[in-house]
């Protein structure tokens, strides 16, 4: 497959320099194939640095976990539930949402067809092999830096919205046969959920119009979305590996469906598990919400662990701003918080190009676009 040319990025992250080619720096190894080969020890390229494998904090009560909120209760005026959501957005950057309106049978269908792709013969899956320019298709790594420790997962990534960008779903799997219908319908349901959440966030932030955040991110028809299904095979030495390295999500928010434990979020330097809750969806705040709220809301650093006994799947919808719309802190929230904009204004396209080049970097990428505090200059 021919590599595509994209603008190289200079050290400050976003200024085009010379044109270079983005391609995978090493042959791509499919983790599922590796796991099914019967290996007893982890290949060195999957061993993570010790600082990334810091142990999980052992929680002793539900109060030490990201909360589960009742969405229908909030919409019906439950002030206590709104307060729980508000604290979660500020202190955790993640929560689980119940009573969201998406039927449990639909969630089971999403899980079934997503897992069905990874059950296909390898030759069939390889027809959809991706490249690092857009990541659309079947992949097994992120970033193009040679020699970096790799994550223990395979994935499939494709666009959901705008419909025109999917090119008739050409990058979507053709098998299982129900896949395209089920995921297309689920994507629209999640978009509806996210618009409801943005309205609630706007109310929580005391913005004049409940549609303020939605408009800032691109409006009713401007929001973009993509889908990623992650497969984490059994791992022979899970204590040395990670399914997904610590990172924040670059977009506005992420809605995640998971089958077994593995997702963890970082707070005050400690890692906390986010266990699956029957019928609930995990909502992770992304960098763009931290930017637009001027740091009032928190985009959370998160990672995925793996285990020796069970495979794991996660089905993820990323909701993003309109690609070429300039995104920066809302002036109203700047005045109400620090008094100056914490982050530079830039388009989401500019922001994600940087990430696709460097790969996963925790909160370092968001920190790289932070403005200096004028009081310290």
Q: Exposure pattern of 314-344 as b/e (b: 16+ CB <10 Å)? A: bbbbbbbbbbeeebbbbeebbeebbeebbbb
Token duo for residue 42: 């982890």
Which two tokens mark 233? 């095979």
At residue 210, does pLDDT exceed 50? yes
Q: What is the Cα–Cα distance from 240 to 244, expressed in whole angstroms? A: 12
For residue 103, being part of any structural domain is answered with: yes
Asked, for residue 306, whether it belongs to a domain, the answer is: yes
Cα dist from 111 to 117, 118, 229, whole Å? 10, 11, 9
- The pLDDT value given to residue 13: 38
- Mean pLDDT of all residues in 214-239: 95
Asked whether the predicted pLDDT for residue 355 surpasses 80, the reply is: no
∠ at Cα 38 (124, 275), nearest 5°? 80
Count of C-beta atoms within a 10 Å radius of residue 19: 9
Question: Is there a contact between 200 and 297 (Cβ–Cβ < 8 Å)?
Answer: no
The reply to whether 121 falls in a domain is yes
Take residue 274 and report the two structure tokens written for it.
Answer: 């986010």
10 in any annotated domain: no
According to the model, what pLDDT value does residue 15 have? 39
287 vs 328: CA distance, rounded Å: 11
H helix and E strand count, the chain: 11, 16
Residue 347 lies in a domain: yes
Burial of residue 270 (CB within 10 Å: 0-12, 13-18, 19+) is middle
Domain extent for 54: 42-369
How does residue 14 score in pLDDT terms, banded at 50, 70 and 90? very low
Q: pLDDT band for 359, please (50, 70, 90 cuts).
A: low
CATH number of the domain enclosing 301? 2.60.120.330
- Stretch 329-354: mean pLDDT: 89
Q: Structurally, how many domains does the chain consist of?
A: 1
Question: What value does the mean pLDDT of the chain take?
Answer: 89
**Tokens 């792709």 label which residue?**
117
Structure tokens at 117: 């792709």
Q: Which of 27-36, 49-58, 162-171 has the highest mean pLDDT?
A: 27-36
Spatial CB neighbours of 65, under 8 Å, sequence gap ≥ 6: 59, 272, 273, 274, 275
Write the DSSP string, 136-178: -EEES-----TTPPPPS-EEEEEEEESGGGGTTTTTS---STT
Query: In this structure, is residue 22 part of a structural domain?
Result: no
What's the rounded mean pLDDT across residues 14-30? 67
Q: Once rounded to an integer, what is the mean pLDDT over residues 45-65?
A: 79
Asked whether residue 59 is domain-assigned, the answer is: yes
Provide CB contacts within 8 A for 17, sequence distance 6+: 7, 8, 9, 10
| Surface-to-core class of residue 200, CB atoms within 10 Å of its CB (0-12 exposed, 13-18 middle, 19+ buried) | buried
Instruction: Inform me whether the pLDDT recorded for 19 exceeds 50.
Output: no
**3 occurs within a structural domain:** no
Global pTM value: 0.91
Structure tokens at 178: 């129900």
More confident residue, 280 or 23: 280
Spatial distance between the Cα atoms of 285 and 93, rounded to a whole number of angstroms: 5
Q: Is the peptide bond preceding residue 162 cis, with omega within 30 degrees of 0?
A: yes
Taking residues 183-190, report their average pLDDT: 98
């Amino acid at each position: 497959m021919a590599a595509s040319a994209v603008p190289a990025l200079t050290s400050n992250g976003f200024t085009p320099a010379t044109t270079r080619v983005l391609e995978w720096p090493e042959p791509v190894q499919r983790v599922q194939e590796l796991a099914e080969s019967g290996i007893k020890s982890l290949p060195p390229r999957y061993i993570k640095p010790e600082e990334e494998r810091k142990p999980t904090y052992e929680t002793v009560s539900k109060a030490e976990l990201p909360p589960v909120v009742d969405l229908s209760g909030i919409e019906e005026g439950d002030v206590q539930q709104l307060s729980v959501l508000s604290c979660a957005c500020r202190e955790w950057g993640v929560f689980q949402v119940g009573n969201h309106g998406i039927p449990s049978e639909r969630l089971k269908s999403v899980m079934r067809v997503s897992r069905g792709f990874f059950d296909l013969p390898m030759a069939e899956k390889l027809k959809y092999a991706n490249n690092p320019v857009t990541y659309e298709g079947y992949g097994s790594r992120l970033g193009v830096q040679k020699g970096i420790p790799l994550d223990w997962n395979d994935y499939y990534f494709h666009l959901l919205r705008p419909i025109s960008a999917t090119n008739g779903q050409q990058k979507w799997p053709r098998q299982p046969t129900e896949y395209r219908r089920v995921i297309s319908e689920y994507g629209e349901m999640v978009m509806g959920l996210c618009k409801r959440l943005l309205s609630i966030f706007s109310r929580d932030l005391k913005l004049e119009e409940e549609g303020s955040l939605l408009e800032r991110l691109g409006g009713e028809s401007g929001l973009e979305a993509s889908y990623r299904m992650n497969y984490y095979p059994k791992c022979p030495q899970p204590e040395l590996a990670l399914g997904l390295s610590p990172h924040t999500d670059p977009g506005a928010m992420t809605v995640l469906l998971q089958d077994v434990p593995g997702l963890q979020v970082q707070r005050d330097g400690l890692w906390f598990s986010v266990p699956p809750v029957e019928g609930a969806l995990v909502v992770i705040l992304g960098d763009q919400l931290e930017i637009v709220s001027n740091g009032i809301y928190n985009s959370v650093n998160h990672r995925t662990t793996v285990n020796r006994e069970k495979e794991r799947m996660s089905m993820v919808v990323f909701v993003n701003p309109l690609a070429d719309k300039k995104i920066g802190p809302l002036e109203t929230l700047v005045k109400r918080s620090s008094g100056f904009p914490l982050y530079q204004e830039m388009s989401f396209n500019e922001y994600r190009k940087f990430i696709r080049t460097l790969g996963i970097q925790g909160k370092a990428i968001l920190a790289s676009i932070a403005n200096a505090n004028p009081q310290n200059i």
